[in-house]
Amino acid sequence: MGPQWGFVAVWLQTVNSFVSFPTMLAFLAGSLAYALSPTMASDKYFNLAVVLVVFWGCTFFNMRGMGVSGWISSVGSILGTILPLGLMVVFGLLWIFSKKHSEIVFSWNGVIPSITSFSQIVFLVGTFFGFSGIEMSAAHVADVEHPRKSYPRAILYSACLILFASLLGSMVIAIVVPKDDITLNAGVIHAIATIFQSYNLPWLTPVIAFFLALGAMASISTWIAGPPRGLVATVDSGILPPLLQKENEAKMPVAIMILQAFVVSFFSLIFLLMPSVKASFWILTLIAGELMLIMYILMFIAVIVLRIKNPHMDRPYKIPGGIIGVCIVAGIGLLTCLFGFFIGFFPPSDMNTGNLFTFELIVIGGTLLVAIPPFVFKFFSKPSWKINQNFLDK
């Protein structure tokens, strides 16, 4: 589809994280609150302060190079993700088998969701966003043995594993925490706190809360440098302004990292505009999801275009069934993404997101604000911006 749309796609794939960072930091704030005072988890100003302090701190820390934060990511992933979620699932299963009170009813009617309006299924966008990034593995398909068989099998296994883990963790939260008390940024630690309280282990809650905060910080630290480095890799297109191409002595894209920090700070102000932290968390997830869905729409279109333009190209993996098979598979993905993008503009029925006009203004305005820059860059681009003068000719 050409360098312009290629740049748009990689831009959207990169900068959606700029919008989702505040949600990751809000999760960190929610966990940190339970280590200090649980009531702070729903405090707008506490969440905003944590977002700004932690993100700017991690940004300057990562400017020293990728190796500096590597050990934090490794330790944080184990102590802050695997350990707390593993404990939650184990204790959650004990809760079920010991026949303690469940906040949800296990019945046929109970497992069928109500989908009578778009406002009831809008959370599907968040589910789509939860699967985003799975396409990244395609970059390594040429290194896989027998990719025509092993690659689709691996993707299927991954999708099932992600879905199973998400459902199991969400089910534990729904069983333990009353529906009206569930918060998007502190649901995990709230469920853990309730379980530990029931088993007379309340002293473990602040410990696990600290580990969760550590895990969130490790994840954020890992991602802070990744998206900017991805954008710097597009300099050959001649669309990225020279100012944003600047790197420091450690080969870190400092200009984009600073821009990223300002964008994250700007979107974090949504915490002050929405009625609750829960609503702010959802709107930020929604905007990030909308941006990713646009990228996936372009990707599915590109699949069809490539197979039509270069039908005989040798590929490590091909969708079976020829052009018909490609159109069916990519067409289903395209229609699903279009549907998800459309329903994202409906406010959820069971969440107070404030005034409808304000909600739509933030969602539409936020999506456009992040999606438009590639076209602005292209309009003002100059030949001197290109690192490789022959790139566009190819």
Pick 294 or 172 by higher pLDDT.
Answer: 294
Residue 392 confidence class, pLDDT cut points 50, 70, 90: very low
Phi-psi category of residue 113: left, alpha or beta, with phi > 0 → left and psi -120 to 50 → alpha: beta
Of the CA atoms within 13 Å of residue 377, those in its CB half-sphere come to: 25
- Of the candidates 171, 172, 169, which has an alpha carbon nearest to the alpha carbon of residue 161? 169
Distances (CA, A) of 227 to 134, 259, 313: 15, 12, 30
CA–CA separation, 42 and 183 (whole Å): 8
Dump pLDDT digits (tens) for 61-101: 777 765 555 566 666 666 667 777 777 778 878 887 887 77
CA–CA separation, 306 and 311 (whole Å): 7
- pLDDT over 80 (residue 327): yes
Asked if residue 115 lies in contact with residue 121, where contact means CB atoms within 8 angstroms, the answer is: yes
What is the per-residue pLDDT for 48? Answer: 86
Phi then psi for 7, rounded to 5 degrees?
-65, -40
Whats the size of the chain, residue-wise? 394
- pLDDT over 80 (residue 259): yes
Three-state DSSP state, 275:
coil
Q: Lowest mean pLDDT: which of 90-94, 104-108, 236-240, 275-279?
A: 236-240
Asked if residue 92 lies in contact with residue 310, where contact means CB atoms within 8 angstroms, the answer is: no
User: Which pair of tokens denotes residue 196?
Assistant: 């530990």
> CB-based contacts of 124: which residues, under 8 Å, 6+ apart?
340, 343
Asked if residue 219 lies in contact with residue 133, where contact means CB atoms within 8 angstroms, the answer is: no
Pick 3 or 303 by higher pLDDT.
Answer: 303
Q: Is the pTM of this model over 0.85?
A: no
What is the per-residue pLDDT for 140? Answer: 64
- Domains of the chain are 3-385 (1.20.1740.10)
What type of residue sits at position 116?
T
- Of the candidates 34, 13, 25, which has an alpha carbon nearest to the alpha carbon of residue 57? 25
CA–CA separation, 41 and 199 (whole Å): 23
Count CB-CB contacts under 10 A for residue 355: 10
- pLDDT over 60 (residue 5): yes
The arithmetic mean of pLDDT across residues 23-46, rounded, is: 79
CA–CA separation, 135 and 128 (whole Å): 13
CA–CA separation, 20 and 319 (whole Å): 32
